[in-house]
Amino acid sequence: MARDSRYDVLFQPVRIGPVTAPNRFYQVPHASGMTNALPRVRAAFRETKAEGGWGVICTGACSIDQTSDDAPLPFATLWDKNDIQAHALMTDAVHRHGAMAGVELWHGGASVMNRASRLPPLSPSGVPWMATHVGFMGNLRPKSMDRSDIRDVLRWQAEGARKARTAGFDIVYVYAGMGYLGYEFLLPEYNHRSDEYGGGIENRVRFVREMLEVTRDAVGMDCGVALRVSLEELRGRPGEHHESEAHALVALLSDHADLFDVKMDSSPTDCSASRFTGEGSHEPVIDFVKRMTDKPVVGVGRFTSPDTMVSQIRRGVLDFIGGARPSIADPFLPAKIREGRVEEIRECIGCNICISSWHDGVPVRCTQNPTAGEEWRRGWHPERVTIAHRPEKVLVVGGGPAGLECALTAARQGHEVTIADRNAAWGGRLTFEKTLPGLSAWNRVVDYRLGRLAEMANVSMYLESELGVDEIADLAPDHLILAPGARWTRMLYSSMEIPVGTLEHPAVFTPDDIAAGRLPEGPTLVFDFDNYYYGGVLTEHLAASGIEVSYVTPAGQASAWTIMTNELPLVHRALARRNVSVTTLQMLTAFDGTTATLTHLFTGETTAVSCRSVLIVGLRLPRRTLVDAVEARRADLEAAGIRSIVTIGDGLAPGAIAHAVHSGHKAARELGQSEGRRHYLRDMPITDCEPGFDRAEAAE
């Protein structure tokens, strides 16, 4: 299919100093959870994006020195020859597909705790980042940098740039964003200095300018030099000679950078979840940059629509369409636009489960793309599967995210697939969740899979079809996949911090009741120990329906786990906008229809709260009715010719939608394999060079 000519501008080459990007699709630096300890996993993950048409592929944060140590969070390093070889795996892989490789050299300054190195963090004036996220908390405060420290960091940056050039990178970054060292010099809250590095914006940019200068001296004409900078705070500060200090920064540094990579100041605004922020949300902050410089500008905005991308370029907002989350959800997004297959784009849903991977310290995972992070260790490709030597009949019972993904992957392998669901619509849990405040984009999980399944002649789909064991036996598939989903319980929570007991009362509701259209009478108390998005968003839903509602949790915050997905501050703001009271560290221990008893998690002190209804968002358990019936008659089903029976998704182990999709994909990839559970490949660091050499040796 021919490409729509409206999108031709997206495939124009663009100069970045001495190098030229083949198109405008730019995978900006983003965390992947794949450090130098997983060099092959990392190389394959990035290579897939280059194969998919992204013109520039960048690393995540890459430390230039042991004083920039983010352990136990995953971070890359460029300290020695082993690191050079590890990164060369990635640059070689990217270059094989005609893309350019960029490296985000990084010093974390006061925003890292140096837990592993045990070296004092560095900052302009000894001001620490007092994070509320326990993963970022520490007790070692930073030291104020003297001139010797500044010279050291400049030297480390230059050495890192030379190593980056040796490793094959085409673009080398100076990082001055997200609270890290360069950013700390830019903001007066961090920078209290009275020397030439402090005071007005002209002095506060000096350190970043010198970092750019030493980087250019180190790489010469071999690499482009990029500046990644956060502009949200600076945009809000009036400038002495410019509209804002952000305007002044770009003007002052325009001659020193070959590319401006512009972003927000904190994760909740920089990569905000779709619940709270739409596509292109950065534009009001960064729309001025191209007016202040003749250098190319890249920015992000969870871009998935090619029309929005073209608009950004035509209106002079950006030169490059930056992608982090969209490039994970669909590494082949550019290729699909180039080839006129826009409807096949696997659009990012903005759930930020990818970001939680970094907080968890593991390789990236994605709700939409179950192959993310599995390219090398399991050999999974996002667009290709191994065609079955002998097509077989596959029956999938359950049309939620797990079942749809399993059916699609099995059909792509060439199997004859039948999928049936007892409900009137496809989507399982998403048939209701997509209607909740901010969650409409999540239905892309269903839309993408239904769209692809509808194109396939080897797929039969049946709604309102509740299958029992007899019906399954009559259909006699070769492989039976059960995806029955999960149910919410009325279990309570104990001081041992586990579910215990059940609260039975006609006015006690679960999320399944709300999904079925059975709304509680207000005032309603929502008791949430699931701790992800659902309790908070259901509270919003009830409030929007006119029901007086309060929120109670044994955790320390509302929807506590959403700190992992950068949503926590926005959850609290959303509940505040609905005038919802939030009570933390409390367990619901009793309810009689008019009064709920709350018990403090740690002290045992009790409080009585008046309410007419209770909604418990706590423990989910698999729906076992069909699974148990099938297991009880396994011999009959095997006699009917069914060779394998597998349970997937929430019906196996309840989790996030990402877990369900991955489970369905894995089951389809492993159809008919008799050797039991398959192990993925284990990666290992490159250690060709033994420790003990001079780490400051500059590679050439």
Q: 378 near 38, Cβ under 8 Å? A: no
Q: What is the H or E stretch that residue 162 is in?
A: helix 147-167
Dist. CA 326–CA 304, nearest whole Å: 6
Distance CA 173, CA 171 (A): 7
- Using CA atoms, how far residue 310 sits from 8, 11, 304, 574, in Å, is 9, 11, 11, 32
d(CA 92, CA 550): 55
CA 307 vs. chain centroid, Å, equals 23
* Sign of the CA dihedral with 114 first, then 119, 122, and 127 last: positive
241-261 exposure pattern, b = at least 16 Cβ within 10 A, e = fewer: ebebbbbbbbbbbeebbbbbb
**The two three-digit tokens of residue 489, written as one number:** 């319980």
**Where do the H-state alpha helices sit in 77-146?**
81-95
The number of beta carbons lying within 10 Å of the beta carbon of residue 202 is 14
Is 532 noted as a catalytic residue in this protein? Answer: no
- Strands 606-610, 595-600: pairing kind: antiparallel
Name the nearest CA neighbour of 286 among 310, 325, 320, 337.
Answer: 320
| DSSP conformation letters of 182-233 | HHHHH-TTT----STTSSSHHHHTHHHHHHHHHHHHHHTTSSEEEEEEE-HH
C-alpha–C-alpha distance, residues 658 and 368, integer Å: 7
The active-site residue, picked from 26, 173, 180, 533, is 180
Burial 299-332 (b: 16+ CB within 10 A, else e): bbbbbbebeebbebbeeebbbbbbbbbbbbbbbb
Angle between helices 657-669 and 401-412 (to 10 degrees): 30
For residue 263, give the H/E element and its range. strand 259-263
Could you give the CA distance from residue 538 to residue 614 in angstroms, rounded to a whole number? 12
Q: How far is CA 324 from CA 57, 354, 410, in A?
A: 10, 10, 28
Q: Which residues carry out catalysis? A: 180
